[in-house]
Amino acid sequence: MARLALRIDDIGAASKRNEVYSKQEWRWRRFRLSGNWLFIKYLPRYRAWGIYREMRPAEWEQVFRLLEQYHAKLTVGITATWVESQHELTPFPQKFPGEAAVLKDGADSGLIEIANHGLTHCVLENDAYKPKWFSGNRTQHREFWEWLAPEIHDEHLRRSQEILQTYFQREIVTLVPPGNVFSDVTLAAALKYGIRYVSCQTPPRQYQTLQVLGNEHVVAFHDRELVLEGVGWLENTLQAHADKTFCFVRELGE
């Protein structure tokens, strides 16, 4: 039977607060108004990403019951810190202790794999991640741009691995680069801190002993769908793939 990994991203990522942009645009003769103008990008009808809230522990309990019911598993991409400001990052277990505890139970009982979804999910330098007055900020809500110094890639992977492995008391071997953005510099740092698999929308390849898996055999989604549409969204997805055998992302690489 065909194997399939379910992967949810953006857990604990402050991008759900700070990434605001719109795809909307209005034109009338030679006038143009972008949905990114001032408050328009915050309006539910026009916003493309944020703002939405973090998932609640009770919602995770519901997710776990569904996974059991459908004999499924889920890889959970966690961003290791919440960006309070350019100089203040709060580790996930401190920012969301209830959610972290439920996820630890889920990992202990074998229902979920904890994956690394970056340290910040965004570019911190010069407050690049902050919402802009007259434009969107989607680009700044990617973390591992190749134009960032190699030390930043290294530092973000070192700290995120340390936070996640210490709290969850297990090896974290899967990296999900935010927004599918990474370079060989990212991979070198990932390898150094114990990552063995990279999972995102990218062509599969091998980098030394690290496997870049791509999204083949993966259904990738975000906490955004479950928060805005309800946990029933996951049940529909599980039903749509009832003919598959579910596995963790890391098992696709083993």
**Which residues lie near Zn ion (CB under 5 A)?**
9-10, 178
**Cβ 225 to Zn ion, closest distance in Å?**
12
**Helix (H/G/I), strand (E/B), else coil: 11:** strand
CA 9/CA 173 separation, integer angstroms: 15
Q: Which is nearer to Zn ion, 34 or 75 (CB)?
A: 75
**Cβ 55 to Zn ion, closest distance in Å?**
14
CA torsion 252→8→11→228, rounded to 10°?
180
Q: Which is nearer to Zn ion, 11 or 72 (CB)?
A: 11
Sign, CA torsion 233/11/105/170: positive
Q: Which is nearer to Zn ion, 136 or 178 (CB)?
A: 178
Q: Which is nearer to Zn ion, 34 or 144 (CB)?
A: 144
CA 37/CA 132 separation, integer angstroms: 9
**Cβ 1 to Zn ion, closest distance in Å?**
29
Q: Which is nearer to Zn ion, 9 or 54 (CB)?
A: 9
Q: Which is nearer to Zn ion, 34 or 178 (CB)?
A: 178
Between the alpha carbon of residue 244 and those of residues 70, 150, 217, 250, the distances in Å are 10, 40, 10, 17
**Cβ 36 to Zn ion, closest distance in Å?**
20
**Cβ 143 to Zn ion, closest distance in Å?**
9
Q: Buried b vs exposed e over 122-142: b needs ≥16 C-beta within 10 Å? A: bbbeeeebebeeeebbbebbb
**Cβ 245 to Zn ion, closest distance in Å?**
26
**Cβ 9 to Zn ion, closest distance in Å?**
4
Give start and end residues of each alpha helix (H) in the chain. Answer: 15-18, 57-69, 92-95, 97-108, 150-168, 184-192, 223-229, 232-240, 249-253
Q: Which is nearer to Zn ion, 34 or 117 (CB)?
A: 117
Q: Which candidate, 185, 180, 63, 164, places its Cα nearest to that of 121?
A: 180
Contacts (Cβ under 8 Å, ≥6 apart) of 166: none
| φ, ψ at 218 (rounded to 5°) | -125, 135
